Amino acid sequence: MKVNWDENVCTHSANCVKSLPQVFKVEDGKFVIDTSAASEDEVRAVVAKCPSGALSVQEE
């Protein structure tokens, strides 16, 4: 599973970072998504709650 982030749609509410900081984080000024740091169900739940719709799941 891969999570895509559309920076042009993102409203920077930080819901993802607050909900799963081990997956969604900012490192060296860049947004990093590490889906291996949580279960697929946890990641999908956070993606589904993204208020702007900037996050989406892509099956690999």
pLDDT tens digits, one per residue of 13-42: 999 999 999 999 999 999 999 999 999 999
Confidence of residue 60 (pLDDT cuts 50, 70, 90): confident
Rounded Cα gap, residues 39 and 30, in angstroms: 23
Q: Where are the domains of the chain?
A: 2-58
Q: Which CATH class is domain 2-58?
A: alpha beta
pLDDT of residue 54 exceeding 90: yes
Rounded Cα gap, residues 60 and 30, in angstroms: 23
pLDDT at site 48:
98
pLDDT at site 20:
98
Looking at every residue in the chain, the average pLDDT score rounds to 97
Tokens representing 22 are 């081990």
pLDDT at site 30:
95
Q: Radius of gyration over alpha carbons of the chain, in Å?
A: 10
Which secondary structure element, helix H or strand E, spans residue 3, and what is its range? strand 2-5
Three-class DSSP labels, 11-32:
CCCCHHHHHCCCCEEEECCEEE
